[in-house]
Chain A
Amino acid sequence: MKRHIWGSTAPVAGILAATLVLAGCGSGGRDDGDGDDGGSGDGEVAGDTTGVTDDSVTIGGHYPLTGVAAPGYSEIPVGAQAYYDFVNDAGGVNGRTIDFIVKDDGYDPSKTTAVTDDLVLRDEIFAMVGGLGTPTHRTVVDDLNAEGVPDLFVSSGSLQWGDDVENRPTTFGWQPDYEIEGKIIGQYIADEMPDAKVGLFLQDDDFGEDGEKGVRQFLDKQIVSVQKYTSGNTEIGPQIAALQADGADLVIGFTTPAYTALTQLNGLGLGYTPQWFYSNVGSDPSLVGGLLANFSEGSVDGAGALDGVLTTEYIPTNAETDSEWTQLWNEVWAANGGDGPLTNFHIYGMSQAYTFVQSLVAAGEDLTREGIIAALEEQGGDFAGPNLAPYRFSADSHLGVSGMRIAEIKGVASTPLTPVLVTDIGDAEITEDTSDQADDGPAEGGIPQ
């Protein structure tokens, strides 16, 4: 009995051809145009104008809209879109409306490559704005740079979005990187609580790693225990028990919000009550407090579940109703938002979008890829945005916000414990910010001019 696996009636080549042709049709190419090098435009302006027309500019971003990382993070592009709609309703920037294309990568790096190819090659975006996640964005950052695509305001605090301008000239960070956050937290504890026995609870990726690096600059001798968790595995009881056994009376958590809530729950279960200190990433009081409220057993007011916990801040949150920024975001959300209340994830997206609009304004009427990068390097350090400390953007550094302040959570809001502290990666000293960045409000009408 002879078998051959191809199947006798199917001349494979024919099918190959059919598939390939199908593939060709299936993805409906509308890009017969200029391809990679972009149109050199009107001859006058030397520069790459891919994605730019007289009345629009197309940008894109990759986010986890489905899957494990979707909770919370999927709200970021919704917030950004609301702000872009707000700007577009007012006529856009320099007569151009902002067309923001959001693609789902499910936090899977191989999908990130696929959707980024899609954005760059098919949608021909002008710039990637706010692409989310370290492991995900890492797979595309070098290609974006090789293609000359501006890769602005990556939604992650990894150092690699700005510490290597020479090799990644088009990539800019946005939020404070985890290392300076670790440094600022570390120095505060070393100064204020020199006797504390410090435990670290870290996510086992660059988030925890960079944070630990910063913290250790000041607390190397005070650290008594380091425990890690793998994202996706919600069983962290054994690690919390280990922190407890090692005698840590102050635990710094570089955790995401879900794991902040889990550390609190496990602490309750073990009767373990150290001073908790969470990175900004995981400390959203309205989110985490709201989650924990359901477990308050009636004894505590839910919103106060995180009372007394320390954290850091670098943009105003939804609880700061006095802030002009928060008022603007509420206005934007009311006009262009979706269902539900305004969350701090929405605000994150809006703040980022605001920075992008500032960049467009700075780049001027003749928008080119080279132009926006040059504008960011020259003017980005002076942008008056919601960020409490200035951006570090310059020809030498593309790292984002330069500092933060320490705050104590109370209810859904927080009380600042320090002025805004600024620093940089490595040995750079931590100093008080003198730029008054924290005190400025939004531009007239909520749109940078």
Chain B
Amino acid sequence: MSETTTTTPSTDGATRGQQLSALWQDYPLIRHLVTAAIGLAVVIVVLTAVDDFQATKLTEMAYIAIAAGGLTLLTGLNGQISLGHGALMAFGAYTTALLYDDREVGTPLVVVVLASVLVTVLVGILIGIAAARLHGPYLAGATLTLAIAVPEIGKYFDQLGGDQGLRLFVPEIPQWATDIAYYLTGSDPSRSKYVAFLAWVTLIVVFILLANLASSRIGRRWAAVRDDEVAAELAGIDLTRARVSAFVVSAAAAGAAGAMFALAQRTVGPLGFSLNLSLTLLAIVVLGGLGSLTGAILLSGVLVFLPQIVMDLGSGADLDATRASQMATLTFGLVMVLVILLAPRGLMGGVRALGLRLRAARAGRRTPPATGGSSSSGAAPSPTTDPASPSSTAETAEPDDGSTPITTKKGTS
């Protein structure tokens, strides 16, 4: 599909706009960096505008999204299911907690986060190697067990704080950060906002790396392994290596998420990494639109804020606290079921399908009825672009890459 896009613009005397859009299209790194810069600006603006409570919510959203981003690559791009990603976060979080166990520790934050990532990567290599041999339900079973077993390690060893967990001390806000924040906003940053900022910067960095990996050769190999093992193997791809590398990359993201979790929660204990967390991450990845990083971010937001809104509605409707909480959980479950039934490709899949349909309808109005009929009838119209509207080149070039149905094979035999 992309071949058509790269060639079409040049044929009819490229305008400046088309060149730019081609540039946008052909150099994912540039695209990702520009997106990141805009994202950073938005983060700064938003964090300045919100209050402390919303900042803590945004922090939660960020670390959930970071872990979900890693899982998006693993499950969406490489087709491996993991019901135990919360357990991987625990390794990152415990590392951070162990390194910041004292108020006086002066280790730079970057070092601590990288150490957390490193530890989680090492664990990820081990698990990835074991997982590479497993498929479908067996992998699900193994990762599920991991999700319940890992917290027990923390519980068993007193050095890890046992049942109580470890307390950690978030380093003081560096002076330059305070100065910049003061310069920009006219007030000193609160600790919640500082942590929220750290988490979102981490999110942006992690997502740039993930997006670049995904659009690189490595990403294409992962997808090839997912789509057809035999074909991938014939093409010379080492299946085990592809699987393990995908696992390791997603583990790295989980490690970074764990570090942010630790900074946000300031206590790291076994109960924080319940099976619930792992399952929530997987739900985000699927409901967001399997394989879509954007969907992962969006759904993390929905999951963090939805229970709150339902609770508020509940107390508004004069339900007692217990009933309101039960209703919030029930609503969450129903939303999961309904999204899967009504938008099987998840949020981003649904949005994209809708966008395509609208665009097809628009194109249909402009072009003679004969072609219009053909393009609006299909759910996924042909990617050949309408020369009359150059702006649509970039948009339709890759109709549903993010939500390409994952053709994980139904169990063998």
Q: Which residues of A contact B (CB under 8 A)?
A: 1-13, 15-17, 19-24, 26-29, 31-32, 35-36, 65-66, 70, 74, 77-78, 101-104, 106-110, 113-114, 117-118, 121-122, 134-136, 138-139, 142-143, 204-206, 338
Contact = CB atoms under 8 A, between A and B. Distances in A.
Contact of A23 (B54, B190, B276, B293): B54
A329 B297 CA distance: 50
A24 B49 contact: yes
Interface in B40-67: 41-43, 46, 49-54, 56-58, 60-61
Contact of B35 (A13, A26, A27): A13
B165 A10 contact: no
Interface string B72-90: 1100110000000000000
Which 6 A-B residue pairs are closest in the complex by CB-CB distance? A121-B53, A13-B38, A104-B325, A7-B402, A5-B214, A20-B46
B329 A66 contact: yes
A15 B297 contact: yes
Interface stretch (B11-19, B263-271, B363-371): B263-271
A5 B401 contact: yes
Contacts of B351: 10
Contacts of B355: 9
Given A7-B294, A20-B46, A65 B398 contact: no
B291 interface: yes
A122 B309 CA distance: 13
Contact of B308 (A10, A17, A27): A27
B331 interface: no
30 contacts: A1-B1, A4-B28, A4-B398, A5-B211, A6-B35, A7-B293, A7-B348, A12-B39, A13-B38, A16-B38, A16-B43, A19-B61, A19-B301, A20-B46, A22-B305, A27-B57, A27-B308, A36-B190, A65-B326, A108-B272, A109-B271, A114-B56, A121-B52, A138-B165, A139-B165, A139-B267, A143-B266, A204-B155, A206-B163, A206-B164
B183 to A, nearest CB: 21
B278 interface: no
A104 B165 contact: no
Contacts of B163: 135, 204-206
B265 A3 contact: no
A122 to B, nearest CB: 5
A3 B219 contact: yes
Contact of A117 (B56, B164, B397, B402): B56
Contacts of A20: 42-43, 46, 50, 58
Given A5-B215, A65-B326, A142 B167 contact: yes
A15 B298 contact: yes
Interface in B332-370: 348, 351-352, 355
A74 B322 CA distance: 8
Contact-residue size bin, chain B (C-beta under 8 Å from the other chain) = 35 or more
B276 A108 contact: yes
A122 B53 contact: yes
Contacts of B348: 7, 10
Contact of B269 (A101, A138, A142): A138
Contacts of A70: 322
B266 A135 contact: no
B115 interface: no
B312 interface: yes
Interface of B: 1-2, 25, 28, 31-32, 35, 38-39, 41-43, 46, 49-54, 56-58, 60-61, 72-73, 76-77, 155, 162-165, 167, 190, 192, 210-211, 214-215, 219-220, 223, 261, 264-267, 269, 271-272, 274, 276-277, 289, 291-295, 297-298, 301, 304-305, 308-309, 312, 320-322, 324-326, 328-329, 348, 351-352, 355, 394-395, 397-398, 401-404
Nearest to B207: A12
Contacts of B220: 1, 3
Given A27-B54, A27-B57, A135 B28 contact: no
A16 B297 contact: yes
Given A17-B42, A28-B312, A122-B53, A139 B190 contact: no
Contacts of A27: 53-54, 57, 305, 308-309
B321 A103 contact: yes
A7 B298 CA distance: 13
Contacts of A3: 214-215, 219-220, 223, 398, 401, 404
Contacts of A101: 321
Given A3-B219, A3-B223, A9 B352 contact: yes
B272 A110 contact: yes
A143 B263 CA distance: 13
A21 B46 contact: yes
A74 B326 CA distance: 12
Contacts of B401: 3-5, 7-8
Nearest to A77: B321
Given A8-B397, A135-B165, A204-B163, A24 B267 contact: no
A6 B329 CA distance: 30
A15 B288 CA distance: 13
